[in-house]
Structure 1
């Protein structure tokens, strides 16, 4: 029988974004996933997410994503609750998506802690991409192209730089050039100025810079390809984060046909528009997907086979990584508070 983890100091606690920044740094989360995914992912049960329309608007919805572990070393139940209100930006000047994550003890059902669900999602998504890149991207990678300048972009950039510290040039692109310019300037200021080892730039034309990239990471809501496989240079690594439904698509078929393709979890082959469409068109088949992140990290499948090989990683996110990230945040919080 599992022993009950101690409650948070002062009772049921809420770990806000600032607290998560402290107790769940990318530098800790990436190695945590490296060790825990092969060992524990099979013990985490995560039913398909449930989505419910809301009466406030036909486009508003409530999403529930539960998970629980059958391994005594991971004695937790987790539930992510997400609200999607696409009209918020125009109507209320608020983000369109809000989320909270609740962690319970698996043996007793006692609630342990709540976490900022958006920050948790940003951290775990970036960490998953970076973990894949630590195996698939060339070790001498120097140029990173970031397609998208939304809330996830700075996390993806930081995570990739952690696993490929040789990156010394980051180019940001966004459909709205001002957003790319603002993000690049902000990141350069955080770095300490233009004389530092890393330069941050923005581009108005993605196709003009994508061929320079050793790593391309995409976090957009595009429904048509923004990355053309013909533009990717030999040896590049393509990280696709944005699409999570069959109607969404960030790269064309040629990028997949040229690349050695991996997914975070098998569900990506049912949800990611790039893959679903390529399967339907006969460009590639599910058998052509080289493996999952768990297989890659655990050594069951090999990654990059040559310096000239194009590698592709497609993630859609699952409750498995939410639970593992929440575990680390909570246990680090307890250790910090003791």
Structure 2
């Protein structure tokens, strides 16, 4: 049985291959039950969340991810997200691999956003704003840079010091990146805006979005959380990773549905429909697009299989 730590998991999941693996899984026959979602009290601070996410491809592979999200970890200089992925044979049930769940989650989440941007962002997108300074921030920059010719990156965070740190890490990868304290000004010029936060209130106003902007909402995975306002929903063509997940868990979708700002019929597509060609994605250069993801277990399974087959020498 393979055991892959954080560094080994990262090395086994290069961006181009991971993006293609997720696309293939969305186009395939993966079985994905509704995930378990449990709130856990943490005395003296924000509640934590336990997620259990199973998926399998009949006869081939089966897996489950156990992930915990502790928002209070930001004050302890610890990652908010941690977890473990268990990959088994779909033919015998034999345990094949134990994979670092935090790194798998960060990379597959960013890869899914980049996959969506392949269909929804302008082909000539050159400037990106990232809101958030957690583990996902650098991953989002690197993943989006795989599918679009991005030349300039800006990072905004509630902590200027944290934003400066992420910008320095991005520059170490050769990216033209800088921290910004002016979220609105950066949003007004960005071609792609990615938000990966646990915000309880909107960070991006629809009024700031220039024609052609692609808004990528990755955080705010509870109905009470939100990263965009109603005007962003009104102005944008709305797409989601899965309708079932986004309409039950994502505040950026659940709240507008509840208030009537958004109707179910207004959701143009889910990621599987973009991958299959059932929906054509962006229709013109001036269109504002919005992609909301809450995460899908098949993305984890795709990444886990890729990591296992890469390390085990099966590819």
Q: TM-score, normalised by structure 1?
A: 0.87
- Aligned equivalent of 1:127, options 102, 108, 111: 111
Aligned counterpart, 1:9 = none
Would you say 1:282 and 2:266 are equivalent positions? no
Contact 2:131 2:197 in 1 (8 A): yes
Q: 1:84 to 1:264 in 2, by over 3 A?
A: closer
Tell me the equivalent position of 1:101. Answer: 85
Distance 1:60 1:171, change over 3 A: closer
Tell me, yes or no, if the aligned pair for 1:54 and 1:62 is still in contact at 8 Å.
no
Residue-by-residue CA offset, 1:216-272 (whole Å, 9 max, x unaligned): 111011111110001010001000000111100000011111111100011211111
Q: Which residue number corresponds to residue 16 of structure 2?
A: 27
Q: Is the 8 A contact 1:102 1:111 kept in 2?
A: yes
Separation in 2, partners of 1:98, 1:312? 27
Hey, what's the Cα distance between the residues in 2 that align with 1:279 and 1:55?
Answer: 30
Per-residue CA deviation, residues 175-219 of structure 1 (Å, 9 max, x unaligned), is 11111112112221331xxxxxx5211110101110100111110
Q: Which has the larger radius of gyration?
A: 1
Q: Does 1:245 align with 2:245?
A: no
CA distance in 1 between partners of 2:135 and 2:250 (Å): 20
Query: CA–CA distance in 2 between the matches of 1:181 and 1:296?
Result: 35
Contact persistence 1:46–1:320 (CA under 8 A): no
Would the alpha carbon gap of residues 52 and 236 (structure 1) be closer, same or farther in structure 2, given more than 3 Å must change?
A: closer
Q: Measure how far apart 1:87 and its partner are.
A: 4.8
Q: What is the CA RMSD across the aligned residues, in angstroms?
A: 2.0
Q: Counterparts of 1:174-185 in structure 2 under 5 Å?
A: 174-185=157-168
Change (3 A) 1:112 1:312: same
Partner in structure 1 of residue 32 of structure 2: 45
Deviation at 1:16, TM superposition (A): 1.1
> Please, which runs of 5 or more residues in structure 2 have no aligned partner?
none
The answer for the alignment partner of 1:209 in structure 2 is 186
- Paired residues of 2:79 and 2:135 also in contact (CA < 8 A): no
Gaps of 5+ in 1: 1-11, 192-197
Residue 147 of structure 2 corresponds to 163
Question: Normalising to structure 2: TM-score of the pair?
Answer: 0.93
Determine the structure 2 residue equivalent to 1:4.
Answer: none
Contact 2:4–2:98, Cα closer than 8 Å, also in 1: yes
Cα distance change of structure 1 residues 238 and 57 upon mapping to structure 2, 3 Å threshold? same
Q: Deviations over 1:83-130 (max 9, x none)?
A: 34555555x654443201001112211111100000000110000000
- Are the structure 2 counterparts of residues 326 and 227 from structure 1 closer, same or farther at C-alpha, using a change threshold of 3 Å? same
CA distance in 2, matches of 1:88, 1:142: 33
